[in-house]
Chain A
């Protein structure tokens, strides 16, 4: 069940802790993944989520994943962890092992879970947006009470698929919220250089969908905004659009030295680190102590170490599995 925010201290504390724990898990998992990539345990592309934790944690924590669905792009580690996929199966997937969430067939960009309603993990910029729209069509057709959250980056907003999908969602009144995670760089390109409007939140208005810009470094603001939009989508079948402004500390992928931005800029964003901001907030609200934080952090680091051990200890997929799962 999703946690609702009430003017109730206890439930606020529970929610804060949940968001905090999720963000910290994403951070530590990604740091561990980065390390494993460095020692060649993980190959190919590896797009890290560090800096953007508030977006996945804030938005997905507001969902009820027995009814709702999440569709993401290729920077999907954060969404997968927020959906509740285990660090073990995700690390194993990064290692290409058969115990991975996609049996070693997907890798970093293709995390899936039928059980947790996570429908990818899509490697083509913008390609998942019509797919997510189709999931919303199913909810509406079957009169099911869910909503779809569709994540994509600032780079995808100029794809035709985005515009086609928003138009379809609006004319068909679909229960979907489109979330543009604006981390400000499409690979190495500053979004301002390639966008006719720099307020991306206004793009949806062309399709009669009200857009809103959200501070993506503040997890509570994300949680609130997404909760509002999903409620409207769920109850009134009005699609929603959010531009969540965020920042990635690392390069676009592991092979990107990120020379297109200044050290000062990165440092400035690290000042408003989403985990740090929430921690300060929680200490102020007496929801956590430095000691408890240390204990929690150690526990999460242990979980991530164990995930590496699990991945290391798991078996490679059999070569015979090469031809499995192509055709039902």
Chain B
């Protein structure tokens, strides 16, 4: 097995799938000639040509809608958003069309498209360019929403996303593109709705997904030194959500810290908190903790922006609180 970066893993997924199915096209800003704003699509134009790897103007609503229409008519487009911050320009296409087309048409028209790009805080980008927007997409029925945290998962899940007959919101993270991990060259798929247990433990469940997994694992290591054995779960997929694994873990540990780098109000994390309170009520020995972004726009100053985000320290403290040690 070879070490691959996240961006390479994503590229491998698109490359393998485009080679397999001619109905797959990639469109977005700077995906073709420039080789991708974050170099995820590097080399795909040379390999598949301008009919399949299509540069768009800066018009998110327009080209996202094009992705929806092309998918309704039989193609399998991958729409790359340069960042999820710009995807807000296209939210109508996702909310009004992609997510609801199958339902409104009584099952006649699906939207087998993938909408992907970097989501979540980066560095020094300030309020408009550093935000985690998963709550918006996970909120509406009709979408699948996934957010892997390793190159291995990224490849297997992007391939699943491309093959899925539903619109898939595929959330990456700018700061993760350079992260490296083992990625086999052989064909493999990772199904949606299956969380990954990253570390077994009996004292407290740490639930998260995407980029925060690194600080979660760091926190888990520190907690071990204090004699607290955390079970670490990477949700990977938000819709569908692997509720079974969440409940099984919380019923074992009786304590849970949810980490979601979005704002806390009406977030994926807060929703999971409710699910746990409803389904694991008699198993809880402490209130469910949520480590989220602070409820503020992202500041530019680096010290402040770090303070606004989930950190290993915040996770450790939350875990201690669930054990009444803080």
On whether A and B touch (CB less than 8 Å), the answer reads yes
Binding site for B on A (CB under 8 A): 69, 71, 100-106, 110, 112-114, 119-124, 127-139, 141-142, 160-161, 164-165, 167-168, 171-172, 324-328
Categorize the interface residue count of chain B: 35 or more
Q: Is the CB of B65 within 8 A of A130?
A: yes
Closest residue on chain A to residue B107 by CB atoms: A325
Shortest C-beta distance, A314 to chain B (Å), equals 13
Q: Is the CB of B65 within 8 A of A104?
A: no
CB-CB nearest 9 A-B residue pairs? A130-B65, A134-B69, A164-B62, A103-B106, A112-B105, A164-B59, A134-B66, A131-B69, A325-B107
Main secondary structure of the interface of B (DSSP, over half): mixed
Considering the chains assembled together, what is the distance between the CA atoms of A137 and B76 in angstroms? 12
Interface centre among B66, B72, B110 (most CB of A within 10 A): B66
Binding site for A on B (CB under 8 A): 25, 51-52, 54, 56-57, 59, 61-75, 77, 92-93, 96-97, 101-110, 112, 141-142, 144, 164-166
Shortest C-beta distance, A109 to chain B (Å), equals 9
Q: Is the CB of B62 within 8 A of A133?
A: yes
Shortest C-beta distance, B94 to chain A (Å), equals 11
B142 contacts across to A, CB distance below 8 A: 326-327
Q: Is the CB of A138 within 8 A of B103?
A: no
Closest residue on chain A to residue B70 by CB atoms: A134
Shortest C-beta distance, A104 to chain B (Å), equals 7
**14 more A-B contacts (CB under 8 A) besides A133-B69, A135-B72, A160-B59?**
A105-B103, A114-B109, A119-B69, A130-B66, A131-B68, A131-B69, A136-B69, A141-B52, A164-B61, A165-B65, A325-B105, A326-B102, A327-B142, A328-B164
A123-B96, A142-B74 given as contacts; is B105 within 8 A of A106 (CB)? Answer: yes
Shortest C-beta distance, A121 to chain B (Å), equals 7
Closest residue on chain A to residue B57 by CB atoms: A167
Shortest C-beta distance, A272 to chain B (Å), equals 35
In the complex, which of the residues A112, A127, A328 contacts B93, with contact meaning CB atoms closer than 8 Å?
Answer: A127
B25 contacts across to A, CB distance below 8 A: 141
Q: Is the CB of B104 within 8 A of A102?
A: yes
Considering the chains assembled together, what is the distance between the CA atoms of A245 and B96 in angstroms? 28
